[in-house]
Structure 1
Amino acid sequence: MAPKTNCNPLKLASILTYIQASRVAHNIKDLEKHLPSVASINGMQVKDYIQALSDDSKIRVEKIGSGNWYWSFPSEEKQQVEKNLAEAKAAHAKAEAVVADLQAKVSAAQEQQQADAEEEDEGGESREVLGERKAKLQGELAVLRKELAGCGDADPTILEKKREEIGKFKQDVETHSDAIINMEAWMVDVGGDEYMCGKRRELYGDQLDEESCMLKEI
């Protein structure tokens, strides 16, 4: 069911931050009590904002006991962060390899062009032959330079930015790991070990170690 209120993105972000920072699950009464001051919204709008976050899969909602509970469980986000980290590292390595290869080809073409010019000065091969070879090398050099210019991902500034992003991803992984531990401890208290194992199986899928009922080591 779509929310009736046209939800403000900044207020949605404030609510999501509050729920994630709390690291506990909330019932609707708790949210209706705190969210108006957190996000500067009317108490009547709380359900619409919560529905909007739920529709976007930003928060989870599940019936536990006699009522619905809402939280932002970070396990999926943790896995996405780890995936982004691996992809960033792979892209970084690939970009560096491409640039090194192109730079080597450009250097080789330049050296050959210089060698041909020196040979021409010394009266070696005919001017016509050397002219054809020079034109060919200049064409190859232009292509290589164009390819090198197109490797924006390998620009030193961009690569440095990716290194910073990788560092941030690592910090996010640690933060989300702590949040998962706290959230799971709460869920064990509420539903017991069997319930928690079932939730892990639902959330982790093939990433679950069935023997220990824990997330597989990466």
Structure 2
Amino acid sequence: MSKKRGLSLEEKREKMLQIFYESQDFFLLKELEKLGPRKGVISQSVKDVIQSLVDDDLVSKDKIGTSVYFWSLPSSAGNQLRNVYHKLESDLQSSKKRLVELVDQCDALKRGREESDEREKALAELKAIEQNYHALKDQMGQYTDNDPAAFDAKKEAIEIAHAAANRWTDNIFTLRQWCSNKFPEAKEQLENMYKEVGITDDFDYLELSAVPLSEAAD
């Protein structure tokens, strides 16, 4: 013998609504949980089913004193269905209106873009202009080094780097002097260490010579 199929949520909702419509009375949740099994709805699922009906405005609830009562009348369901119908009808009309507007916009955009010899010629000219523009832009990029503004920017960057290098050179000289004063007995070891890290006897401040703009551009 095959196992009996359980009720779907929609079927449970219909069964619980029947309880309200047949009695047209007010119920506590615990009363509905007792009545539900008589309609084939297990008591454990009654609360969720009732809440779904409340969410859809098919069942009303109100707190009276310390108790919460539920009720629903056939007329309430009818009113709810009518409200849903009117809303759907309104949404449908709005969608139709929007569709007409979009079709009109599409037609307007198509006007003047019909395939023709003039349009093909104009598109070809536009493409040629774009190609010429990109070619000229590439050529201009080749002359960036001769641009006075670019030269000034490079010159400023060199001056900043030169100042930073000499600042670190000054720091190194200060550190060497401190080491010599602090560890006079380790003079030879310090000199060897300086040479290992590249600080030789010819280590000195950098000099920055002025470069004329004409030479920098060549």
Mark yes or no: TM-score above 0.5: no
How high is the TM-score relative to the length of structure 2?
0.34
| Greater radius of gyration (CA) | 2
The structure showing larger relative contact order (alpha-carbon pairs under 8 Å, at least 6 residues apart) is 1
How high is the TM-score relative to the length of structure 1?
0.34
